[in-house]
Amino acid sequence: MTIRDIAARAGVTKGAVSFALNGQPGVSEATRTRILKVAKDLGWQPNSAARALSSSKSGAVGLILARPARTLGAEQFFMQLISGIEAELSKRPIALVLQVVPDLEAEVAAYTRWWSERRVDGALLTDLRVEDSRVGVLRELGIPAVVFGGPGHHDGLPGVWSDETTAMNAVVEHLVGLDHRRVARVAGRREFLHTHLRDQAFQAAVEQYDLLDGSTVYTDFSPAEGEAATRQLLSADPLPSAIIFDNDVMAVAGARTAAELGLQIPRDLSVVAWDDSILCQLTQPPLTAVSRDIEAYGAHGARALLELIEGAVPDIDVQDHAPSLVVRKSTAKARTRP
Amino acid sequence: MTIRDIAARAGVTKGAVSFALNGQPGVSEATRTRILKVAKDLGWQPNSAARALSSSKSGAVGLILARPARTLGAEQFFMQLISGIEAELSKRPIALVLQVVPDLEAEVAAYTRWWSERRVDGALLTDLRVEDSRVGVLRELGIPAVVFGGPGHHDGLPGVWSDETTAMNAVVEHLVGLDHRRVARVAGRREFLHTHLRDQAFQAAVEQYDLLDGSTVYTDFSPAEGEAATRQLLSADPLPSAIIFDNDVMAVAGARTAAELGLQIPRDLSVVAWDDSILCQLTQPPLTAVSRDIEAYGAHGARALLELIEGAVPDIDVQDHAPSLVVRKSTAKARTRP
DNA sequence: CTGAAAGCGCTTACAG
DNA sequence: CTGAAAGCGCTTACAG
């Protein structure tokens, strides 16, 4: 079933069919209507390879996840992000090509191959690093790309980001409002930009509110390291009265660890998770968490990429909806200590 | 950068370049070596659209997830499955095209479009239903497809599956070994084949071990319905002494619900989760769970699909590694009741 | 073993 | 408004 069949059936040339199908001028309204009807009757769909070859557009965008398979499964973030991206892409006949790779080197290799194969028209970048080698490669290759993260750390590539600073302030304010003075933090990987931004915001808040602690332990986001970091923080003297965790999995692991050490949450220790998820709601007590609409975040990024591919000059650093703090049962008044 | 450039540089025709690059006979070894060197020097990669158009192979396979975005994020299953599929595909230059849709109707529409566009060479089917309209559509379209699930419910389409029956037997045996006689089950959606298979296995085990309960409540896999189902089961008299849940999220929700109702796990109620995950390990107490290597499952399915696409006649119903029961702290001796 | 050519199914300038 | 044709970058029969 090709435009050739349609042309024969409608008594016109292939060119006319193409114009009619693509809404281009060059055919009369009557002819166009006739051609469209024939195409519909025959159940015609454009061959994506032929269209890609002659238009130099693949009709697909790429997303690469460079995380070990275990942590990928554990974090709900990625699946929600993908859902959001898809929600936007599937409004058009644009496909999402997904690849899972072990490290950044493999990720860069995949972009390079995709681009020289012309397999995708653009790419979505996630897990932005403070120093991110991918950004330079993408710019050099000339792939239209949009970055999740930021702001201002991607060398001119457009990005969408959520405001970590405001969110961190809300968290610290909430804790200060509960009389907490010794607040610690279990962070993710140091090289990730969002970790870095939260670091800065946390340190600024520590000074602003004149907190007494402010120690931060870095991890790989895994529950094992979340547990180890919690043990480390809870061996300090005096103890922190609240800990902020960089993801839901570590927060749950940390809360469990604290309980094992004989602390009662929230009486003895307040716990805040970053990125709310079902996990935070299912644990006992349910965790106070920073909540973002990750699907909307993904959709937002996809939309920006599509605009970029279509030649628009998108805003650099579009800010997404601000995260909100969902207060549950894991935060309470700090105990007055001796 | 095309084979034309390589041909010019190497002083041969495009045809010779194509033969050399694809390992076809038709060029001398010396020429082949020279051509390959030129191609490498120029950093050539085949244009995927051109190759797809002339070879009628897209170099991609498709996966469609038809679940609401929320439950997608909550279940670790899918991301692990995708990781496994990717691990196999990325050994070759085969891309994974992913789509997230709201329902089966949209899923069928997407297959139809993909196939008439020749965007994918084959498809992977998941969440198999007892009566599954997709199977017929796929067969009719002639898309090479492999089904996750089964066995024997896919009208000739090859499938990989894991043995739900043996796993269910292991679960029930474990509970019976702990003197449980009143065992209930919180199942997933009734129309899903794996739910159905577990149902049958559960009923068979109930009879075999002469259990006194065996009631099953169906849900949509969500924690909310898991909680409601648990409440319902725990309002019976006499109470079940153990509940088997069809996924990790509901098991955790159910355990929490039981605790809220004043039951202590495992003293008053034993809980078993199906599909182990970090969730099961992080709750207090950690949950006894049926564990499968979902990544291997995904890889297995991808490999079968690639063979099918390459023209092999794959075995129908290849069985994957058997699931295993991981015993943790949520199951214990049944209390002797009055 | 090599060369010259047709063809995959589209898009798009170029003449009429 | 329409027709006839070239071209996208590959693969692959067909002659020599």
pLDDT (tens digit per residue) in B141-160: 999 999 998 787 788 889 99
The CA distance from B56 to the nearest CA of chain A, in Å, is: 9
Closest residue by C-alpha to C1' distance, nucleotide D3: A13
* Alpha carbon distance B111, A328 (integer Å): 43
Q: Do B256 and A284 touch (CB under 8 A)?
A: yes
Please determine, for residue A337, whether its predicted confidence score (pLDDT) is greater than 70.
no
Q: Look at residue A338 and tell me whether its pLDDT is greater than 50.
A: no
Q: Given pLDDT bands bounded at 50, 70 and 90, which one contains residue B13?
A: confident
User: CB–CB of A73 and B277 under 8 A?
Assistant: yes
Nucleotides of C under 7 A from a protein CB: 1-14
* Residues of chain A neighbouring B76 (CB-CB closer than 8 A): 73-74
Query: Domains of chain B by range and CATH?
Result: 3-45 (1.10.260.40), 60-162+294-319 (3.40.50.2300), 164-291 (3.40.50.2300)
Question: What are the residues with a C-beta under 7 Å from any atom of nucleic chain C?
Answer: A 1-4, 14-15, 17-19, 21-22, 24, 26, 44, 46-47, 50-51, 53-55; B 12-16, 19, 25-29, 31, 50, 53-54, 56
Centroid of chain to Cα A25: 40
Give per-residue pLDDT as tens, B119-132: 999 999 999 999 99
- Cα separation, B86 vs B80, in Å, equals 10
Look over chain B and give the mean of its residue pLDDT values, rounded to a whole number: 92
* Pairwise pLDDT comparison (A28 vs B143), residue with the higher score: B143
Q: Residue B337's pLDDT band (boundaries 50, 70, 90)?
A: low
For residue B161, what are the β-bridge partners? Answer: B319
Using CA atoms, how far apart are residues B332 and B338, in angstroms rounded to an integer?
18
Q: How far is the CA of A328 from the C1' of D12 (A)?
A: 67
- Residue closest to sugar C1' of C13 by CA: A15
**Residue B163, token pair as written in the block:** 């043995």
Mean pLDDT score, A33-59:
91
From A73, A118, A283, residue closest to B49, measured CB to CB: A118
Would strands A324-326 and A288-291 be described as parallel, antiparallel, or unpaired? antiparallel
Give the tens place of pLDDT for each residue, B258-296: 999 999 999 999 999 998 988 899 888 999 999 999 999
Nearest chain B Cα distance for residue A273, angstroms: 15
Q: Residue B338 has what pLDDT?
A: 40
The nucleotide whose C1' lies nearest the CA of A53 is D8
**pLDDT tens digits along A199-229:** 999 999 999 999 999 999 999 999 999 999 9
| Nearest protein residue, CA measured to C1' of C8 | B54
Average pLDDT over residues B104-120: 95
Residue of B nearest to A254 (CA): B282
Under a CB-based contact definition with an 8 Å cutoff, are residues B246 and A279 in contact? no
Q: Which residues of A touch B226 (CB under 8 A)?
A: none
Average pLDDT over residues B72-80: 86
Percent of chain B residues past pLDDT 70, beyond the cut: 99
For A224-232, which contacts have Cβ atoms below 8 Å and span 24 or more sequence positions? A224/A253, A225/A250, A226/A186, A226/A250, A226/A251, A226/A253, A226/A254, A226/A257, A227/A253, A227/A254, A227/A256, A227/A257, A229/A186, A229/A254, A230/A186, A230/A254, A230/A257, A230/A258, A231/A257, A231/A261
For B173 and D16, how far is CA from C1' in angstroms?
76
B74 vs A277: CB contact, 8 Å cut-off? yes
DSSP string covering B274-312, please? ES--HHHHHSSSPPEEEE--HHHHHHHHHHHHHHHHTT-
Using the predicted structure, report yes or no on whether residue B22 has a pLDDT greater than 50. Answer: yes
Residue A70 has pLDDT above 80, yes or no: no
Strands B288-291 and B324-326: what pairing? antiparallel
* A129 beta partners: A192
| B195 Cα to chain A: minimum distance (Å) | 22
> Within 13 Å and on the Cβ side, how many CA atoms surround A237?
1
Q: Return mean pLDDT, chain A.
A: 92
pTM attached to this predicted model: 0.94
Structure tokens at A97: 């090509």
Chain A residue with minimal CA distance to B87? A100
Q: Which residues contact B81 (CB under 8 A, 6 or more apart)?
A: B126, B148, B294, B295, B297, B298
CB under 7 Å from any atom of strand D: which residues? A 12-16, 19, 25-29, 31, 50, 53-54, 56; B 1-4, 14-15, 17-19, 21-22, 24, 26, 44, 46-47, 50-51, 53-55
Residue B41 is given by DSSP the state H
Q: How far is CA A262 from CA A254, A265, B307, in A?
A: 13, 10, 55
Query: What integer is the mean pLDDT of A305-318?
Result: 85
**Residues B199-205: what's their mean pLDDT?**
96
Distance from CA of B250 to the nearest CA of A (A): 9
CA-based nearest distance B237→chain A, Å: 27
Tell me how far apart the alpha carbons of residues A158 and A305 are, in angstroms, rounded to a whole number. Answer: 9
* B37 CA from C2 C1′ (Å): 19
The C-alpha angle with vertex B12 and arms to B10 and B16, in degrees rounded to 5, equals 110
Nearest protein residue to nucleotide C11, judged by CA and C1' positions: A54
Count of helices and strands (H, E) across chain B: 14, 12
CB contact under 8 A, B79 and A87: no
Say yes or no for a CB contact (<8 Å) between A284 and B87.
Answer: no
Distance A258 CA to C5 C1' (A): 76
**pLDDT (tens digit, 9 = 90+) per residue, B292-315?**
999 999 999 999 999 999 888 777
Cβ-Cβ contacts under 8 Å, B52 against chain A: 48-49, 52
Enumerate the residues of chain A whose CB falls inside 8 A of the CB of residue B45. 113, 116-117
Question: Three-class SS of residue B210?
Answer: coil
